[in-house]
Amino acid sequence: RISLKNVCADFGEGVKRIFKVAVMYGFAFAFFYLMVAYPWPTAVIDWFIRTNSYNLIFILFGLIAAILAIAVCADPLYSGYYFGQYLAAIYTINLGITAIIWRLGSGIGLLIAPTSFLLLTALTYADIPYKQWMKYIWKFALTFFIVAVIVLGIVIM
């Protein structure tokens, strides 16, 4: 019993509401395409975390690299697949710690990355501006980052 006029009006309202998210996600997928077509991100990740041993600097830069990888990659699961093979091949000495570092960094990245589809969609539908979200979440993300570095540092030592 819904008229075609109401359906079209509601559809238009939904498109207007999600348009910013769709544009941002479109740019993220364009960047994602460039990442897959030209495999330069592994060189960037390698520059961040290439060390001869597992130490506090490896943990720090490993978390930063994971956050950046999630931020520039529109699909977090593919990001793990894309970089996971590389990290498994390079850092086979202690693959468990590398995987934990990657997962923790990915979690922080998904909380703050403007390319996180679920985050942006939830913020859009809750009418929360991204800037307001960052004001709220940055303290938690920074605390989580520092605690992760300390705990992993203790585990490695």
Query: Alpha helix (H) ranges present in the chain?
Result: 4-37, 41-49, 56-72, 76-90, 95-112, 117-125, 130-156
For the stretch 84-106, pLDDT in tens is 777 777 777 777 777 888 888 88
Q: Do the beta carbons of residue 113 and residue 23 sit within 8 Å? A: no
| pLDDT recorded at residue 135 | 92
How far apart, in Å, are the Cα atoms of 27 and each of 2, 24, 64, 122, 124? 35, 5, 22, 19, 17
Least confident of 40-44, 56-60, 67-71, 134-138: 40-44
**Global confidence as pTM:** 0.65
Greatest mean pLDDT among 26-30, 79-83, 104-108: 104-108
Tell me what the pLDDT averaged over the chain comes to: 79
